[in-house]
Amino acid sequence: MHWADKTADDLLSRGERHVIETGTSISGIPHIGNAGDVIRGDAIRKALLDRGIEAGFMWISDDSDPFRKVPKGMEKLKDYLGYPVRDIPDPDGCHENFVDHFAMPFISELSEFGVKPKVLSSTECYRSGQFYNEIKTALNNSSKIIEILNKFREEPLPDSYIPWTPICRKCGKISTVKAVSWDGKDAIKYVCRHTEVSGGSVDGCGFEGESSIKEAYGKLPWRVEWAMRWAHFNVTCEPMGKDHASAGGSFPTSKLICKEVFGWEPPMPVIYEFFTLNGEKISSSKGNVITLGDWLKISEPEVLKAFMYKVLKKQRDIDLEKIPNMNDEYDEFEAIYFGLKEDTDNTQKRLYELSQVGEPKKLQVPFTMCAILSQIPNLDIKEISKRLNNLDYKDFDEERLETRIKLANNWVIKHGPDFLKFTILKDASGIKLSDLQKKGLFIMADELMKNLNPKELHQKIYAVARSIELDPPELFDAIYMSLINEKKGPRAGHFLLALDLDFVVERFRSF
């Protein structure tokens, strides 16, 4: 069974009302790794819907968090270290603030993946006053909270710890603020002092003030906030990265707080491994990032969804040079869905279904082939469709073909390996070939007219070379030189058949 179905069944064994919470900390550009949380949550929503249960599905931006580290390329924001991210200005000035600048494109890109959660801002929730009762509950239970937090800490919190951090009224920072006393009702006294965050040290303004939890200008500590949100929004399912779920992570702590302080049964965790990008950790502070928008320029949304839905607990790498492999994997699932291949573990057809944004449409034309086609000048899609039909690519959706060719072109230009990039030579009269090479091309021109498939054609090149006692690499050289003036190119069988037959035949005979 696919993990999303298994999760849905497990959830249903607990009851029929469900809310799936997903979220992202907006500390920089929300990337593909962040998107994994909500895209995976959507698979669970779909699986529940297929069982007749319409679950709540929310995405919350953790925008009350302090700005701890400056993302690469945004060095001008370094003075905002220690501020709640929500209160930082838009670095480009096009949105109301830093969070909107990143969250709004992220949400609209998610909808292109067919993922449309209810969008919430943690800061707005606080400042609207809707968490008031829960904040009060947390303060009333601070000794219990300290006891739970201390189970997971090396250095215990003092008994005087107050689980609420106001934002400094004077300077607007939050990292620098320490709550010092609570009057037992709504007022919290605080001081604003120097502190260290991961991106550097942050000066406090020295202000000593008082903050009312009624206006909720501040936040609960993360592990308390998470637990509070589950109770407040009746969350029953929460996808999370494995760092949260690990022994010292926030889930084991928040789980206890949720149950013992807020009296809500903690949500069922759906734990996943992170992706890496080009073999390295995805990190906006290091600039090793790809966004959903970047992805949509080079590949279809369904391909990424299928990649995310395949396994939960295995770290997988997104290697931008190997986007064709990811597409090939997707095409396998598609072949299974359309009955062209067997579903060996009974999850792959389902995985394909869950990945769909609209109605499934068959393509089965390899991404690499599309990358080659995309570089042919004056490409005519009708003409290409005819050519592909001759190549045994049948009954494909022409609109998808057009889309994939466009995407493959963007990919090959930006990330493709050199051997896959080419420009068709308009005039080959300057190309010097040996007599044997010319002879080889002449015979190949005849072979091209025999309707061979790419593999057969590839083998034919070897056979022809040997038949005239030419070293095969020399014939490959001649093929590439005559067409693209390069010693190397895309795999010859696919390449030759992607081109206009009359053109290639004429070119080969022109020497």
Residues that bind Zn ion (CB under 5 A): 90, 92, 94-95, 101, 168, 170-171, 192, 205, 207
Beta bridge partners of 181: 189
Give the nearer residue to Zn ion in terms of CB position, either 92 or 395: 92
Percent of the chain that is helix, strand, coil (3-state, to 5): 45, 15, 40
CB of 71 to Zn ion, least distance (A): 14
- As measured in angstroms, the least distance from the Cβ of 72 to Zn ion is 17
Give the residue with the Cβ less far from Zn ion, 72 or 95: 95
What is the enclosing helix (H) or strand (E) of 121?
A: strand 118-121
Q: How far is the CB of 233 from Zn ion (least distance, A)?
A: 28
In the bound state with Zn ion, the residue whose beta carbon lies nearer, of 168 and 256, is 168
For residue 327, the Cα-to-chain-centroid distance in whole angstroms is: 15
**Minimum CB–partner distance for residue 206 and Zn ion (Å):** 7
The CB-of-216 to Zn ion minimum distance in angstroms stands at: 18
Residue 195, token pair as written in the block: 């502190």
For the chain, what is the largest distance between any 2 Cα atoms, rounded to a whole number of angstroms?
97
Q: How far is the CB of 90 from Zn ion (least distance, A)?
A: 4
CA distances from 42 to 1, 21, 35, 243 (A): 17, 10, 11, 21
- Token readout for 154 is 């090396």
Cβ count near 14 (within 10 Å): 13
Q: Which is nearer to Zn ion, 19 or 171 (CB)?
A: 171
User: CB 88: neighbour CB atoms within 10 A?
Assistant: 21
Q: Which lies closer to Zn ion via its Cβ, residue 97 or residue 278?
A: 97
Nearer to Zn ion, 71 or 301 (CB): 71
Of 235, 219, 263, 249, residue with least CA distance to 59: 235
Pairing of strands 316-318, 275-277: parallel
What does DSSP say about strands 280-281 and 275-277: parallel, antiparallel, or unpaired?
antiparallel
Residue type, 281: K
90 vs 328 by CB, closer to Zn ion = 90
Alpha-carbon dihedral angle through residues 425, 431, 433, 439, given to the nearest 10 degrees: 50
Whichever of 94 and 247 has its CB closer to Zn ion, that residue is 94
Least spacing, CB of residue 97 vs Zn ion, in Å? 9
Report the nearest approach of Zn ion to the CB of residue 106 (Å): 12
CA distance 75 to 247: 35
Of 234, 237, 256, 253, the closest CA to residue 245 belongs to: 253
